[in-house]
A and B are shown apart, each in its own frame.
Chain A
């Protein structure tokens, strides 16, 4: 878990009832994202110091000790670009040993071939012909989501706020926009090629062509690897929110945390709830058993995640320091902690 004051590691057995916590690791730093690399048991962390800038830190003992990268993601001199922070760290699948991806602000992708020790910029994205027209979202021009399932070699999806979704099929040599049928709320062109504000994407790894998207202006599903998007807002209380998570076992299930709207960004009626679907978004139901009746929780785009257990577990962390978990697809929630620093991201993995 990444917070404004350091990283925390929660561990449990497969029952997911009792949790041990360690941290704050790298204390005092903003830890925007943490990822566990199952290939080698390392934890990678995006570290942002208010003074010394961003870097990547790596632990090989579950957070006991950390080493900062000697060659973190950096844009080449002369580009005028400078990494402000890493928004996402994504270890590649087993078939790509040593490879780790990072999404940064200002939006770009970096790739490491040595387990996160050194990084190279993706030049195709850095030099994209439309880049000069990219506008940032409220949180910055960030590449916040990386999807690489490993099922189709060379394929990857990335999401950039507020540019949209892109896909490569040639291992990053070229990228094309995938925003067809995604509406914008405030631009003259309602369905532009790019300029849509995607907040988060999620997939079930067994069906990588099915992608769920929480956008600024709505909720979508693609059944064709992002070539087109279907509006699945239906009976949701609002079209606005940030995180989305996919069920690990049932590709028809996904989960959201809707907010009242972009004008207020608070839970509707002061009642935070997770909403789920079990039919690909045709219908949504509230999942709030165990959650406070009254709460103005804010869950950031990386603040909610699903695990790979059966039944699927869900976790969300709030900017007011609460961490909740559900062992049963959101049917009941338990609070793991109520006293953490503002939570920037939650990630989960089995070891």
Chain B
């Protein structure tokens, strides 16, 4: 998904994942309201109809 997003919007991929493809520490990716960190992180499989949200963490005080 990230690489396809990056093809459509060059540079966007690198804002979601780091140089090695890992989701950035303060970015959360939800798949159907489940945090991908509770699934398989950047390797979480996606299926037709899945809804993905990419959000900055609300943290830091």
Contacts and interface: CB of A to CB of B under 8 A. Distances in A.
B15 interface: yes
A82 B57 CA distance: 20
Interface of A: 49-53, 55, 68-72, 74-83
Given A69-B11, A70-B10, A70-B11, A52 B24 contact: yes
Contacts, number: 48
A81 B21 CA distance: 11
B33 interface: no
Interface in B16-36: 16, 18-22, 24, 26-27
Contacts of B26: 50-51
B49 interface: no
B10 A82 contact: no
A81 B24 contact: no
A132 B55 CA distance: 35
A50 B20 contact: no
B20 A51 contact: no
30 contacts: A49-B15, A50-B26, A50-B60, A51-B26, A51-B56, A51-B57, A52-B15, A52-B27, A53-B14, A53-B18, A53-B24, A55-B14, A70-B10, A70-B11, A71-B10, A71-B11, A72-B11, A72-B14, A74-B19, A75-B19, A75-B20, A79-B19, A79-B20, A81-B19, A81-B20, A82-B18, A82-B19, A82-B22, A83-B18, A83-B19
Nearest to A74: B19
Give the contact-size bracket for chain B: 10 to 19
Sorted nearest first, the 9 A-B pairs with minimum C-beta distance are A70-B10, A51-B56, A82-B18, A82-B19, A52-B15, A70-B11, A75-B19, A74-B19, A51-B26
Given A50-B26, A79-B20, A82-B19, 12 more contacts: A49-B15, A50-B60, A51-B24, A52-B16, A55-B11, A71-B10, A71-B11, A72-B14, A75-B20, A76-B19, A77-B20, A81-B19
Nearest to B20: A82
A122 to B, nearest CB: 15
Q: Is the interface of A mostly helix, strand, loop or mixed?
A: loop
B41 to A, nearest CB: 15
Nearest to A80: B20
A16 B22 CA distance: 47
A72 B19 CA distance: 10
A340 B11 CA distance: 30
Contacts of A70: 10-11
Contacts of B15: 49, 52-53, 55
A51 B27 contact: yes
A76 to B, nearest CB: 8
Nearest to B60: A50
A74 B18 CA distance: 8
Nearest to B55: A51
Nearest to A50: B26
A78 B56 CA distance: 26
